[in-house]
Structure 1
Amino acid sequence: MKKYKISVLFLILFTAYSALLFAQQELSQPHALTQLIDNKPLFGKILSEVKLSKTSFNPSLGEEIAVSFMLSESAEISLNIYDPDHGLINSIAEKKQMPPGKQLFLWNGKDTEGKIVPDESYYFTIIAENKAGNIEIYDPTLFSGGKEYEIRQAKINHQDYTISYNMTETGRVMIRLGIKEGPLMNQLIDWEPRERGAVTEYWNGKDKDGLSNIYSHPDFKMVIIYFTLPENSVITFGNKTSNYRDYKKAVASYQKQKDSQYKRTDNEMLSMHYRLLRTEDYSPKLNLSFSNIHSQENGITILKEKTMVKVEIDEKDKSVFQNLQYEICFFLDYKFYVEEETGYTPFNWVWDLKDVEPGEYILTVNVSGFKDQIGIMSKKIKVVK
């Protein structure tokens, strides 16, 4: 274990830069039998004017969304809905012959099994083939989405700690809260979809584990980043019974993936997080425990002399994060204490407390992956001699 000063916020910037390199490398290595396109739509003559009636809706209340488009001539239409990981959600039309003019199709927010989809963002693809066999494809992932931006203007209400900011376009948002030159204390919003316009997030001003008011700390720092979603993405909400990761596990054995011969290859810097699966790109839950505990007092762990500190990934997240390499950093009262640059979980650290003065502290651990997923946990401890 090494003891020297490190800035987690620097780590965030570093991983963002690594994300850009990762995206460039992926885009520069096309798969076999894949036709590359230069960020240009593959439609416009037969198929045009693709629109949605709204950008979000609540299927649990029986709401629907309308997809409309124009055909310049009669054509055979296939319209599919996909989740953000490109899994097929439903087929609204399959090789359906349609006349020229404005077309309109409805989606009720249900999948192929008739189940309401979990709260997430979804996108549509349309394939139109005319009588001459000419094919046009509307697939927004081939020409839009993935641009990453930082939101620098946000307001925190001093009374209720709500965070207000403005989205210039629909995107997927991440909000990290921490201490400058110190630990990440809370990943309040973990790459969740948000609509264009004014957004309000609710917070209690505290760290993830609710131990202290970090907003009042003089070195409090907030970072808000988002990447754009594909054009005409729609966000569903109101599902109280199923979340996206559990849903994906349930349908894994039969859900079809989008099969496309085209691959986007524009030269723009795309977010690494845009390329990652939603089932894998999130902050894992951690467990932090101690051996050789002296005693417990009002929920605070009392430590004396030496203790074994154990950090591990929570059982429900082990299948995704268990065997990856991490940088594991410990902070004592928000100040860097010790780190392991190339660690694995479960991670055991023998902590000799002889250099720690008696008193109460908050011990925080950040477990940082190389694809910018950071697990966070804090515990109150008391050191006695």
Structure 2
Amino acid sequence: MKRLLFIIALFVVPAFALEIQNLRVVPKNIDAGNVTRIMFKLSGPAKLSINVKGLNGASVTSLISNVLYPAGQFSIPWKTPKKIESGYYIPVITAVDQISGESVTKQIETRTAKMISLPFTTSDLPGGNKEISYSIDKAALVSIRVGINNGPMYKIISNWELTQPGAYSVKWDGWDGDHVIKVDQLANYLIDIKYIPVEIDALYVTNPKNISKKTIVPASEILRQINAFVPKYSVAVSNKKIASNSKNNESINLDINVDDNTLEELGDIPYEYVLYIDGKRYGEIENTTSPYNWEISTKNLSKGSHVFTLMICTSIEQINTRSFKVTL
């Protein structure tokens, strides 16, 4: 009996989940037109498909499609196109287990750190412009905003753009985004620069004919592994629909319309409208819809011109600002 059990045991193969291990690219930095190798280990026989995508999730090329591979270590060459855009590229491997039929997908992940304030310098340029200079030693999402201390950010210069390591300078004319407020003449104005370091263990291709210092990427793609959400949306506010024709001129109607693309990207993320008048917070409207009509009381405002600043915000941060003048 013991001999029979031993013989049966020899033919019983334990079931292990299929794994794709040690996925990497070698070399990680190449010029366009050169060859890199996608290396990985397969724990069991499987049909493989290998695609390469950009950081924005768009597919660039398909290297292998539904090809049977045994267990083992593999090195798949990829000759990058000569006309490829400069930037990061991520291989995605899908394997279908030939025993269980289980499908496994593996790709090189991105890792992020916490948000950090970034040191910078400013210098005055001819014509009243300013130059804001900063440097980073690793790839990072960079946000540059200007506004007032403990108040609204009137202009978004860089909205969480993925920026490669190096020294940078951006020019700013001193105005808000709508050219209504000369922000750099306000007594308590500030420049706020923050960044989130990003470690990307992927291939970086440099095309000397098409070098892009900044690759814009949806923030959710980079930040999916940390407990924060940095939205990146636009909002359209129609200034032409602002009219002072209600209730004895003691209020105005502010018609707000958020564009369809923004609403689609926001999805179920809650947002609110926040209004500042002459730099002071007037109030906010939560659980909003679009379009939305907001009746603004003007009882406490003097006759003359006033600057209204409307923001759309999530629970994390301000994501867009529009400023305009209202004359009472």
TM-score band (shorter)? 0.5 to 0.7
Secondary structure at the counterpart of residue 21 of structure 2: coil
- CA distance 1:104–1:217, shift in 2 (3 Å): farther
Counterpart of 1:363 in structure 2 is 308
Counterpart of 1:283 in structure 2 is 233
Given the alignment, which residue of 129, 137, 149 partners 1:180?
149
C-alpha distance in structure 2 between counterparts of 1:363 and 1:329, whole Å? 11
Deviation per CA, 1:211-246, whole angstroms, max 9, x where unpaired?
A: 223133232231322241522353789599xx989x
Deviation per CA, 1:318-353, whole angstroms, max 9, x where unpaired?
A: 433487532221111222122224333322221232
Does structure 2 retain, via aligned residues, the 8 Å contact 1:362–1:381? yes
Counting aligned pairs with the same residue, the percent is 18
Given the alignment, which residue of 15, 23, 26 partners 1:50?
26
Does structure 1 retain, via aligned residues, the 8 Å contact 2:24–2:108? no
Is 2:53 the partner of 1:82? yes
C-alpha distance in structure 1 between counterparts of 2:81 and 2:260, whole Å? 35
Counterpart of 1:270 in structure 2 is 226
Does structure 1 retain, via aligned residues, the 8 Å contact 2:310–2:322? yes
The amino acid of 2:282's aligned partner reads Y
CA offset at residue 372 of structure 1?
Answer: 4.0
CA offset at residue 183 of structure 1?
Answer: 0.9
CA offset at residue 178 of structure 1?
Answer: 1.8
Does structure 1 retain, via aligned residues, the 8 Å contact 2:162–2:216? no
Counterpart of 2:193 in structure 1 is 223
C-alpha distance in structure 1 between counterparts of 2:139 and 2:226, whole Å? 16
Counterpart of 2:276 in structure 1 is 331
Counterpart of 1:313 in structure 2 is 258
CA offset at residue 153 of structure 1?
Answer: 0.7
Secondary structure at the counterpart of residue 272 of structure 1: coil
CA offset at residue 103 of structure 1?
Answer: 7.2
C-alpha distance in structure 1 between counterparts of 2:143 and 2:88, whole Å? 15
- CA distance 1:344–1:152, shift in 2 (3 Å): same
Counterpart of 2:62 in structure 1 is 91
Is 2:157 the partner of 1:201? no
Greater alpha carbon shift after TM alignment, 220-229 vs 347-356: 220-229
C-alpha distance in structure 2 between counterparts of 1:305 and 1:350, whole Å? 10
Does structure 1 retain, via aligned residues, the 8 Å contact 2:116–2:196? yes
Given the alignment, which residue of 111, 115, 134 partners 1:149?
115
Deviation per CA, 1:277-327, whole angstroms, max 9, x where unpaired?
A: xxxx41322214445447xxxxxxxx9543211122034434334875322
List alignment gaps of at least 5 residues for structure 1: 1-34, 58-62, 111-115, 129-135, 249-264, 275-280, 295-302
Deviation per CA, 1:243-270, whole angstroms, max 9, x where unpaired?
A: 989xx9xxxxxxxxxxxxxxxx9xxx82
| TM-score normalised by the chain length of structure 1 | 0.58
The amino acid of 1:150's aligned partner reads I
C-alpha distance in structure 1 between counterparts of 2:324 and 2:305, whole Å? 11
* Bigger Rg, structure 1 or 2: 2
Does structure 1 retain, via aligned residues, the 8 Å contact 2:271–2:315? yes
Alpha-carbon RMSD across the aligned residues, in angstroms, is: 4.5
CA offset at residue 271 of structure 1?
Answer: 5.3
Is 2:96 the partner of 1:140? no
The amino acid of 2:326's aligned partner reads I
CA offset at residue 122 of structure 1?
Answer: 3.5
- CA distance 1:70–1:85, shift in 2 (3 Å): closer
C-alpha distance in structure 2 between counterparts of 1:96 and 1:197, whole Å? 43
Counterpart of 1:169 in structure 2 is 138
Greater alpha carbon shift after TM alignment, 76-85 vs 211-220: 76-85
| TM-score normalised by the chain length of structure 2 | 0.67
C-alpha distance in structure 1 between counterparts of 2:264 and 2:325, whole Å? 29
C-alpha distance in structure 2 between counterparts of 1:48 and 1:308, whole Å? 57
- CA distance 1:380–1:109, shift in 2 (3 Å): farther
C-alpha distance in structure 2 between counterparts of 1:291 and 1:102, whole Å? 62
List alignment gaps of at least 5 residues for structure 2: 1-16, 96-103, 219-223
- CA distance 1:78–1:372, shift in 2 (3 Å): same
Does structure 2 retain, via aligned residues, the 8 Å contact 1:126–1:137? yes
CA offset at residue 381 of structure 1?
Answer: 1.9
- CA distance 1:270–1:291, shift in 2 (3 Å): closer
CA offset at residue 189 of structure 1?
Answer: 1.3
